[in-house]
Amino acid sequence: MPSMRPSGSPIRNRVMTDAANDNMLIIMKCNGCKKTVHFWAVDLIKVLGPRHQIHVPPFACSRCKTMEYIHMSWAVANSHNTQELTVRRPVELVVKWLWKDEKA
Ligand SMILES: [Zn+2]
């Protein structure tokens, strides 16, 4: 009996590259404090890489400092759902030195 799926194409979760190709917004809502942040999938690729699965929270809630209450969702952006919408965008990569004490 033939398979419904072509062989060699395992089921996989959507990743940021898929979402960016569909011009998607990634919506991260914390159910602890109700804070919601919108990101462009194409921006998250720069930070998380192209293979990051879109249902996996990329960051902890900046208020609650935990990922425990984060709910991820996504939507295809269009002129109706992006009017008046604030989207968090990467501005600058900051490189920081870490120091440790050791025996001279
Ligand atoms: Zn929170």
The one-letter code for the residue type at 65 is K
pLDDT surpasses 70 at 1 = no
| Top-confidence residue, 16 or 81 | 16
Burial of 77 (C-beta count, 10 Å sphere; 0-12/13-18/19+): middle
Cite the beta strand spans of the chain per DSSP E: 24-30, 36-40, 70-76
Distance (angstroms) between ligand 1 centre and the Cα of 70 equals 7
pLDDT surpasses 80 at 51 = yes
Which residues have a beta carbon within 5 Å of ligand 1, which is an ion? 30, 32-33, 61, 63-64
| Top-confidence residue, 9 or 28 | 28
pLDDT surpasses 50 at 69 = yes
pLDDT surpasses 90 at 45 = yes
Q: Sheet containing 70-76: which strands, arranged edge to edge?
A: 36-40, 24-30, 70-76
Distance (angstroms) between ligand 1 centre and the Cα of 72 equals 13
Which whole number is the average pLDDT over 56-79? 94
Nearest CA-CA partner of 92 in 46, 54, 60: 46
Distance (angstroms) between ligand 1 centre and the Cα of 33 equals 4
pLDDT surpasses 90 at 16 = yes
* 47 contacts 90 by C-beta, under 8 angstroms: yes
Distance (angstroms) between ligand 1 centre and the Cα of 36 equals 9
